[in-house]
Amino acid sequence: MSSTPEEFKSGFACFVGRPNAGKSTLTNALVGKKIVITSSKPQTTRHAVRGIVHRPDAQLILVDTPGLHKPRTLLGERLNDLVKTTWAEVDVIAVCLPASDKIGPGDRFLVGEAAKVAKTPKVALATKADLVEPDRMIEHLAEIQALGEAAGIEWASIVPVSATSGFQVELVSDELVKLLPNGFPLYPDGDITDEPEETLVAELIREAALEGVRDELPHSIAVTIDEMNLREDRPADKPLLDIYANIFLERESQKGIVIGHKGARLREVGAASRRQIEALLGTPVYLDLHVKIAKNWQTDAKHLRKLGF
Ligand SMILES: Nc1nc2c(ncn2[C@@H]2O[C@H](COP(=O)(O)OP(=O)(O)OP(=O)(O)O)[C@@H](O)[C@H]2O)c(=O)[nH]1
Same domain, 111 and 220: no
67 lines ligand 1 (CB under 6 A): yes
Q: What is the pLDDT of residue 52?
A: 86
User: For residues 75 and 241, what is the distance between their CA atoms, to the nearest angstrom?
Assistant: 32
More confident residue, 198 or 154: 154
Q: What is the pLDDT of residue 19?
A: 82
Distance (Å) from CA 24 to ligand 1 centroid: 7
Among candidate residues 251, 250, 253, 243, the one with its CA nearest the CA of residue 290:
243
CA atoms within 13 A on the CB side of 212: 10
Secondary structure E strands in 26-165: 49-54, 58-64, 92-96, 122-126, 157-160
If one counts every other C-beta atom within 10 angstroms of the C-beta of residue 197, the result is 14
Among candidate residues 10, 13, 11, 40, the one with its CA nearest the CA of residue 25:
40
Q: Decide if 138 is inside a domain.
A: yes
User: For residues 75 and 190, what is the distance between their CA atoms, to the nearest angstrom?
Assistant: 33
Asked if the model's pLDDT at residue 199 lies above 70, the reply is: yes
* 134-149 per-position pLDDT tens digit: 999 999 999 999 999 9
If one counts every other C-beta atom within 10 angstroms of the C-beta of residue 272, the result is 16
Question: Closest ligand 1 atom to the C-alpha of 38?
Answer: 16
Q: Decide if 16 is inside a domain.
A: yes
Q: What is the pLDDT of residue 111?
A: 92
* 225-276 per-position pLDDT tens digit: 888 888 988 888 889 999 999 998 888 888 888 898 899 999 999 999 999 8
If one counts every other C-beta atom within 10 angstroms of the C-beta of residue 264, the result is 10
Of all protein residues, the one whose alpha carbon is nearest to atom 24 of ligand 1 is 43
Same domain, 118 and 254: no
Strand pairing category for 285-293 and 241-249? parallel
Question: Does 122 show up as a binding residue in the annotation?
Answer: no
Q: Decide if 191 is inside a domain.
A: no
Same domain, 112 and 162: yes
162 lines ligand 1 (CB under 6 A): yes
Q: Decide if 192 is inside a domain.
A: no
Q: How many structural domains compose the chain? A: 2
19 lines ligand 1 (CB under 6 A): yes
| Phi, psi for 238 (deg, rounded to 5) | -130, 60
Using an 8 Å Cβ cutoff, are 176 and 93 in contact?
Answer: no
Q: What is the pLDDT of residue 222?
A: 86
Same domain, 164 and 228: no
Residue after which a domain boundary falls, among 147, 178, 209: 178
CATH (domain of 261): 3.30.300.20
Predicted-complex ipTM score: 0.97
Same domain, 36 and 139: yes
From residue 287, how far is each of 227, 249, 257 by CA, in Å?
A: 10, 19, 20
Distance (Å) from CA 38 to ligand 1 centroid: 6
* 80-116 per-position pLDDT tens digit: 776 777 788 889 999 999 999 999 998 998 898 889 8
* 46-83 per-position pLDDT tens digit: 445 468 898 999 999 888 665 666 667 776 677 677 67
Structural domain boundaries enclosing 268: 197-306
Out of 24, 100, 131, 204, mutate this one to test ligand 1's pocket (max ligand atoms within 8 Å of CB): namely 24
Question: Does 182 show up as a binding residue in the annotation?
Answer: no
Q: What is the pLDDT of residue 254?
A: 85
Q: What is the mean pLDDT of residues 274-293?
A: 90
Q: What is the pLDDT of residue 87?
A: 81
CATH (domain of 86): 3.40.50.300
Same domain, 143 and 264: no
34 lines ligand 1 (CB under 6 A): no
Strand pairing category for 122-126 and 222-230? unpaired
Q: What is the pLDDT of residue 309?
A: 61
User: For residues 100 and 274, what is the distance between their CA atoms, to the nearest angstrom?
Assistant: 33
- What's the first-to-final CA gap in the chain, in angstroms? 41
Q: What is the pLDDT of residue 88?
A: 80
CA angle 107, 127, 97 (to 5 degrees): 10
